[in-house]
Amino acid sequence: MAGRLDLKGGRVELAHGGGGRAMERLIDELFRAAFANDWLAGGDDAARFEVPGGSMVMATDSHVVSPLFFPGGDIGSLAVHGTLNDVAMGGGQPRYLAAGFVLEEGFPLAELQRIVASMADASREAGVPVVAGDTKVVEAGQGDGVYITTTGVGTVLPGVAVGPERVRPGDRILVSGPLGDHGVAILSQREDIGFGTELRSDTAALHGLVAAMAEAVPDTHCLRDPTRGGLAAVLNEVAHASGTGMRIREADLPVREAVRAACEFLGLDPLNSANEGRLVAFCPPGSSDELLAAMRAHPLGWEAADIGEAVADERGFVQMETAFGGNRLVDWLYGEQLPRIC
Amino acid sequence: MAGRLDLKGGRVELAHGGGGRAMERLIDELFRAAFANDWLAGGDDAARFEVPGGSMVMATDSHVVSPLFFPGGDIGSLAVHGTLNDVAMGGGQPRYLAAGFVLEEGFPLAELQRIVASMADASREAGVPVVAGDTKVVEAGQGDGVYITTTGVGTVLPGVAVGPERVRPGDRILVSGPLGDHGVAILSQREDIGFGTELRSDTAALHGLVAAMAEAVPDTHCLRDPTRGGLAAVLNEVAHASGTGMRIREADLPVREAVRAACEFLGLDPLNSANEGRLVAFCPPGSSDELLAAMRAHPLGWEAADIGEAVADERGFVQMETAFGGNRLVDWLYGEQLPRIC
């Protein structure tokens, strides 16, 4: 890590949006420093707060994915799923959504209509209505078609209190399905590479899966969706926040054959590739069988796997036992493998 | 009004973001049609919904103002005030904010820091913390420095139920202060015109004023902040939604001399010019003196004025008695006087 943010002469880099160390530094040294409150200090994507009558969770996500349409989804469905998932990872069941659009002058209305229809479908399927919105238009050349910021609020699942600070040595690490699909689908679309087999984004709303998991194991310690930066970023963030190390086994990582092949071809690593319909759960070792069973019983978790465990390690290292029996450090990238993944 | 939206061959125009008829048509025929729910059908900037323990209000606003810094504020303070005001106009006291940033590659970090510091100041001054956020970066040339989408949630003020459908013939129309400051300040900055006197944006958080008004007259029928499209757009929207006409008196409209002069010079109308720290209230005639007194007792309402009344008129016309005793129709512009005002 190369020193602190250069707030005098520095400029915004693509890496600052990549979900890696550069973004973490920008958020920490610029945003958290200015807003200085406990919600942001927690480092979660969702904030939990009390209102008369109970606890609520709120999360926001700006979507700038390119291309706007990709196999398995588009910016509209992604903007719904992304924010619902952030609310769900905060232990909430999303109830309402708001959407702010920044449109570029000249963008075809027919494409906008397709995107909005896809958002509406995703919202209806998830049972979470879009109740408020805003539309701004910028001059041609000051945007890229459509950017969508969605914000979700939800109610907290009874008895659930998830957060990276709750992770302890011995906790099992479970993932809900194959890794890297979204990132590879976007890249294949962008580069117009087919790989002979269809790569589709995994974009999906996970709050139903989370509800089923919370019912089975309310004491789950932490939930994360491995979006920008992929599984590697989540493991490093949680290791950092909990003061534990992580040990995972490559042989147990679920990765589709097509994704593995595409990653090899493109020089990418499925560990760093983004997901939009997967979650990582950390739970006490005694409940991991039950949690895994609950995940596998759900349509969005049937390929779930136990991939390793948190271990005592003050340095917060994330290590992987390779398929050949070796050991390798799973690093947290400085930026993203590619920009505008979500 | 020239027909319906051309969803086959049409393209996004700057006018679609201008707060006038073009935007209303886009929202109605594309967004409301797709999401099809009662919250959006209401046509308010804020949505009210029930949660365990009470009612809440949620509003979202994307900010793309150009220039980013202007007399009286910047995109940071504006992004806080704009959303707090939308929550307040929904009858809510804002409690929490979320902020999503779309940053352009190459934007100076020092300027970003100034903007975020200004947001943090505005948030602290308003007593409403920013509890969740997101940051995305787009390539140079795909944005314009910084776009900020803020979303606010709030609790509903006891006994308050505001909405344009509650406006009745006879209701008084009150404005909280001089009109058009923000729009003229932005334009003067953009065109680098000084006018010999300082024009400053009125950007401010109005929820304190609204709380004072709600205490004095809980039965206030409707609250609106005249942002894009100015007072003319608010009057036409409310006339349309309530099925009443509006009659205002030019002589009673509070407009600063400098704003009037600048508007004349630039060929603008203060009635269409944007405000970011003003509100329009519609109240039963019997409570208007009390409401006006409450507004004038507040630092953000001391220049408040009674400017006219709602009248029985199924056509929903907005008419103004001119300073010379004539009568003129106050039209709703197709677009905005200028783009990217907020």
CB atoms within 10 A of CB B140: 13
8 A C-beta contact, residue A341 and residue A207: no
Nearest by CB to residue B134, choosing from A18, A37, A61, is A61
Calculate mean pLDDT across residues A95-108.
97
Angle in degrees, CA A264, A265, A267, rounded to 5: 60
**Which of B47, B54, B135 has its CB closest to that of A27?**
B135
CA nearest B136: which of A146, A105, A95? A146
Question: Is B46 touching A (CB cutoff 8 A)?
Answer: yes
What six digits make up the tokens of A182?
A: 């979204």
pLDDT tens, residue by residue, B246-257: 999 999 999 999
Q: Which band of pLDDT confidence, cut at 50, 70 and 90, is reported for residue B19?
A: confident
Q: What is the DSSP code string of A165-205?
A: GG--TT-EEEESS-SSHHHHHHHHHHHT--TTS--------
Does A37 reach chain B within 8 Å, measured CB to CB? yes
B99 touches chain A (CB under 8 A): yes
Instruction: Give the 3-state secondary structure of residue B48.
Output: strand
- Six token digits for residue B23: 């935007």
What are B61-97's pLDDT values in tens digits? 999 999 999 999 999 999 999 999 999 999 999 999 9
Average pLDDT of chain B is 93
Q: Are B216 and B294 in contact (CB under 8 A)?
A: yes
pLDDT at A54: 80
Best probe of the A interface among B29, B64, B151, by most A CBs < 10 A, is B151
Q: CB–CB of B34 and A101 under 8 A?
A: no
Q: Are strands A92-104 and B280-283 parallel, antiparallel or unpaired?
A: unpaired
Q: Which domains does chain A have, with CATH numbers?
A: 46-156 (3.30.1330.10), 164-329 (3.90.650.10)
Q: Is the pLDDT of residue A228 over 60?
A: yes
Kindly list the distances between the CA atom of residue A237 and the CA atoms of A30, A241, A242, in Å, as whole numbers in the listed order: 18, 6, 9
Q: Longest Cα pair distance anywhere in chain B, in angstroms?
A: 57
pLDDT per residue as tens digits for the range A305-331:
999 999 999 999 999 999 899 999 998
Sequence-separated (6 or more) residues with CB below 8 Å from residue A38:
none
pLDDT digit string, tens, across residues A21-64: 899 899 999 999 999 999 998 878 889 888 877 889 999 999 99
Q: How many residues does chain B have?
A: 342
Residues in chain A: 342
Which residues make Cβ contacts (< 8 Å) with residue A223, sequence separation at least 6?
A: A88, A89, A91, A162, A210, A213, A279, A280, A281, A282
pLDDT at B297 over 60: yes
Name every chain B residue with its beta carbon within 8 A of the beta carbon of A136: 17, 62-64, 147, 340, 342
Kindly state the average pLDDT of the residues A171-198.
86
CA distance B171 to B167: 7
Share of chain A above pLDDT 70, in %: 97
Dihedral (CA of B205, B211, B216, B220) sign:
positive
pLDDT at A197 over 80: no
pLDDT of residue A1: 43
Question: What integer best gives the mean pLDDT of chain A?
Answer: 93
DSSP B282: E
Give the pLDDT confidence score for residue B195 in this predicted structure. 60
The pLDDT score that the predictor gives to residue B143 is 97
Q: Tell me: pLDDT of A192 over 80.
A: no
CA distances from A160 to A210, A277, B277 (A): 10, 21, 41
Q: Is 60 exceeded by the pLDDT of residue A107? A: yes
What tokens were used for A100? 């702010």
Nearest-Cα distance to chain B for A147, in Å, is 8
C-alpha count within 13 angstroms, C-beta hemisphere, residue B10? 18
Residue B241 has pLDDT above 70, yes or no: yes
3-class DSSP state of A331:
coil
B104-116 pLDDT per residue, tens: 999 999 999 999 9
Q: How confident is the model at residue A333 (pLDDT cuts 50, 70, 90)?
A: confident
Q: A-contacting residues of B 54-73, CB under 8 Å?
A: 54, 56, 58-64
pLDDT of A188 over the 90 cut: no
- Please check the confidence at residue A295 and state whether its pLDDT lies above 80: yes
pLDDT average, residue stretch A153-167 = 92
CB contact under 8 A, B37 and A129: yes
The reply to whether omega before B285 is within 30° of 0 (cis) is: no
pLDDT band for position A159 (50/70/90)?
confident
Averaged pLDDT, A191-209: 84
- Residue B31: pLDDT band (50, 70, 90) is very high
pTM of the model: 0.96
